[in-house]
Structure 1
Amino acid sequence: MERQGSRLRQPPRLQRSAARAMSVSASSVGRSSGPPQASSSFITAAASTGTHQLKIDSYSLTKSLPRGAHIKSSNFQAAGYSWYINYFPNGCGRLIKRARGYLSLQLVLDGAVAATAGSVMAQFTLSVINSAGLLERTTARKSPVHNLARGGAAGWWFFKYMSKADLESKFLDLKDDSFTLQCDVVIIDRFRAVKAAPFVEVPPPDLHRHLGELLFSGEASDVTLQAGGETFSAHRCVLAARSPVFKAKLLGSMKEGTSTTNCAIGIQDIEPRVLQAVLHFMYTDTLPEVSKEEEAAMSQHLLEAADRFSLQRLKLICEENLCGCIDTSSVVTTLVLAEQHSCQGLKEKCFEFLKSTGLNTLIATDGFNHLSTSCPAVLEELTSKLTLH
Structure 2
Amino acid sequence: MANNSTSSVDKPIPETSSRYLTDCVTSHNFGVTRYSLLDGRGINNFISSSRFSVSGFDWNIRIYPDGEREQDKAAYMSVFLCFCSGATMDVKVKFTLSLLGKDGKISNLNSKTTTANFKPVGDTWGWDKFIGKSRLQELLSCNDDCFTIRCVLTIIKDHHTEDVSTVLVPVPQSDLHTHLANMLKDGQGVDVTFSVGGQLFSAHRYVLAARLSVFKAELFGQMKETTMERIKIDDMEPAIFDALLHFIYTDNLPNKCDVDQNVALQHLLVATDRYGLERLKAICEGRLCHRIDVQTVATTLALAEQHHTPHLKNACLRYLCSRDVLPAVKETDGFKHLTASCPEIMMESFEKVVPPSGV
TM-score normalised per structure 2: 0.51
Q: Aligned AA for 1:209?
A: T
Equivalent residue of 2:353, what SS? helix
Alignment of 1:284-295 (within 5 A): 284-290=250-256, 294-295=260-261
CA distance in 2 between counterparts of 1:197 and 1:274 reads 50
For 1:372, which of 322, 326, 339 is the aligned residue? 339
Equivalence for 1:387? 354
Alignment of 1:197-346 (within 5 A): 198-253=167-222, 258-259=225-226, 261-290=227-256, 294-346=260-312
Deviations along 1:348-368, one digit per CA (max 9) or x if unpaired, are 111111112343132121122
CA distance in 2 between counterparts of 1:271 and 1:292 reads 11
Alignment of 1:139-150 (within 5 A): none
CA shift in 2, pair 1:202/1:297, >3 Å: same
Whether the 8 Å contact between 1:42 and 1:196 is mirrored in structure 2 is no
> Considering only aligned residues, what root-mean-square deviation do their CA atoms show, in Å?
2.9
CA distance in 1 between counterparts of 2:203 and 2:323 reads 46
Q: Aligned AA for 1:298?
A: A
CA distance in 2 between counterparts of 1:383 and 1:332 reads 10
Whether the 8 Å contact between 2:259 and 2:268 is mirrored in structure 1 is no
CA distance in 2 between counterparts of 1:291 and 1:199 reads 38
Q: Which moved more, 1:369-378 or 1:241-250?
A: 369-378
CA distance in 2 between counterparts of 1:243 and 1:322 reads 24
Shift of 1:293: 9.3
Deviations along 1:300-338, one digit per CA (max 9) or x if unpaired, are 121111111111111111011100011111111211221
Whether the 8 Å contact between 1:354 and 1:361 is mirrored in structure 2 is no
CA distance in 2 between counterparts of 1:228 and 1:299 reads 18
Q: Aligned AA for 1:351?
A: L
Q: How many residues align?
A: 201
Q: Which has the larger radius of gyration?
A: 1
CA distance in 2 between counterparts of 1:207 and 1:366 reads 45
TM-score normalised per structure 1: 0.47
CA shift in 2, pair 1:290/1:357, >3 Å: farther
Shift of 1:382: 2.8
Q: Aligned AA for 1:203?
A: P
CA distance in 2 between counterparts of 1:333 and 1:348 reads 14
Equivalent residue of 1:270, what SS? coil
Provide the identity percentage.
47
Equivalent residue of 1:231, what SS? strand
Equivalence for 2:120? none
**Bigger proportion of residues as strand:** 1
CA shift in 2, pair 1:296/1:373, >3 Å: same
CA shift in 2, pair 1:306/1:197, >3 Å: farther
